[in-house]
Structure 1
Amino acid sequence: MSSIKVEIKINENIEQAYVVIYTNEINEEINEILLRLKENAEIIAVNEGEKIVILQKREIYMVRLEATELMIYTKDKSYKSKKRLYEIGEQLGSGFMQISKYAFINLKMVDSVEPFFNGVMNLKLKNGYTEYISRKYLPSFKKYLGI
């Protein structure tokens, strides 16, 4: 990436840092930069009625598909997102794990896990929310726990 030039401008009036890329074409180098920026993005935009709320990833406890709506749960609130579950999963990145076909959880927010029925486990988060870990995702969750 030696052909890439970087310029940083400091402006005290800017509340949230943003990146602008000037290029004459989208090439492999630019795609790599975009991928790295996307992986490192620390915010998730969600809907609260007509308002768009910006959440830090660390605030998110769980993302769950409920009927046709994608819900984002924080400590004491829930929000809607227009994105698909897999898109949010990609955006969340490390620190989050898919535990069922319908849910991702923040691994730092897990309070306890207990056996449920037919090889499924019930997971409780630190905010009191619960979700089931399906058999398909249980091996990777157990590996994470070291059991």
Structure 2
Amino acid sequence: MKVNFEQNEQLADDDIRVTVQAAHLSQTVIELIQALEARQQSVDVYPITVDERVVLVPITDIIALEVYGTDVTLYTIEATYKIRGVLKKILGKLNQQDFIQIAKGSAINLNHLQSLEAAFSGSMTAFLSNQLKLTVSRKYLPELRQQLRM
């Protein structure tokens, strides 16, 4: 991959235009475009309502998310929060390059993944920061392997 920079003084200071060129539209090109779009939409904190106040949790501090019905447990470096929500919507607000779904009801921040260990019937156990362990289901394992370039 070759990266070029071209200065365009006709653009405003905060206006950036990105053009992706390739011989054909491949999966790598699609992933690059999605990563650029996610970067544009991402924020550095995730607001959580706790006891009638809003706590701004740094996204880099989020270790994992687990769903039980309509309750989502958000594990961070400092604390564990119980919030209401849908896993898919929460993941949509987080940096798509760092977070990956590992089971129907759980997702992890790859920056907090310390190791993986084989478990029963083709699944794996993910060992994360703060001694947290989550099961990676067989269905989501190929995507995790691809993300980790395994």
Q: TM exceeds 0.5?
A: yes
Q: Which of the residues 90, 100, 103 maps onto 1:100?
A: 103
Separation in 2 of the partners of 1:56 and 1:76? 11
TM-score (norm 1): 0.70
User: Deviation at 1:126?
Assistant: 1.6
One-letter code aligned to 1:88: I
User: Deviation at 1:71?
Assistant: 1.1
Contact residue 70 and residue 85 of structure 2 kept, 8 A: no
The alignment status of 1:121 with 2:124, answered yes or no, reads: yes
One-letter code aligned to 2:122: G
Separation in 2 of the partners of 1:38 and 1:101? 27
Q: Which runs of 5+ in 2 are unaligned?
A: 1-11, 15-36
Aligned sequence identity (%): 28
- Judging by fraction of residues, say which structure has more helix: 2
User: Deviation at 1:113?
Assistant: 0.6
User: Deviation at 1:36?
Assistant: 7.0
Name the count of aligned residue pairs: 117
Q: Which of the residues 83, 89, 92 maps onto 1:90?
A: 92
Contact residue 38 and residue 91 of structure 1 kept, 8 A: no
Residue 29 (structure 1) aligns with: none
Q: Which runs of 5+ in 1 are unaligned?
A: 1-5, 9-34
Q: What's the secondary structure of 2:91's corresponding residue?
A: helix
Tell me the C-alpha RMSD between the 2 structures.
2.3
The alignment status of 1:60 with 2:62, answered yes or no, reads: yes
- For residues 84-126 of structure 1, the C-alpha deviation after alignment (integer angstroms, 9 at most, x for no partner) is 1111010112211111111111000001110110111000102
TM-score (norm 2): 0.69
Residue 69 (structure 1) aligns with: 71
